[in-house]
Amino acid sequence: MGHVFVRLAGHGARLVPYWPYRFTGSAGSSTVQATVVGDGGERRAVVGPGAASVPGVVDVDAGPDGDWRLELGPFSLCWPAGFAVESPTEPADGTPCYLLGPDQAMIFPQGPVPLARLTGPDALVAPGQRVVHRRVLDDDIDVVELAYAHDGAAWWQAHWIIPVGRDLALVLTGQAPAGAGAAVRTAGDRMAVTVTGVHHPDGQSA
């Protein structure tokens, strides 16, 4: 097991977990529970500002103040309340992380990807899905909401296309059973509008 490329930063700390990991915490709390699952079972640590690193579970360094935020490579965005953060369980899965909520709700980031791949009206519509709504956040974040059936039940999915450069976009995908879609929509909107570059103590952005 080794380090991953997803960090949790806030409350004066930066948490770098070992794979495979899970972060859980309550809204407004300065402490986070980090869990690593290995051949010998689960190892857990509750960490936060001023905490020491826990070998094989999570390294703790100095970080920015404010609420906890996810750092995905050079990007930072809010950690929405009610969602745990988990690594992929398969080494070949290139998804940076999964945010898992109640009622099978899930949000995950992808990219950055070339904007040219996302410009067609059906670029993010999979077979069996239909577009139920299109909207724009903050003048430049396109949101596509979809409906589809999964195992005989109605499901909802959305994609947030967030420009992060002249020709690139970070994509957030959220999905849940149709009855739980509102919570994912709220969390995804909040995450999308809070995307920024990662700021280091020397004032430079990654």
pLDDT tens-digit readout, 155-184: 999 999 999 988 999 999 999 999 999 999
How far apart CA 41 and CA 34 sit, in angstroms, is 14
pTM: 0.91
- Mean pLDDT for 66-70 is 96
Cα→Cα distances 111→45, 60, 63, 94, 97, Å: 30, 26, 24, 10, 12
Can you say whether the dihedral through the CA atoms of 17, 19, 21, 27 is positive or negative?
positive
Go through the domains of the chain in sequence order and give each one's CATH number.
Answer: 1-67 (no CATH), 85-206 (3.40.1000.10)
How far apart CA 75 and CA 77 sit, in angstroms, is 7
Write down the pLDDT at residue 72.
Answer: 93
Query: What DSSP state is assigned to residue 186?
Result: H
Cα–chain center distance at 115: 20
- Mean pLDDT for 127-139 is 96
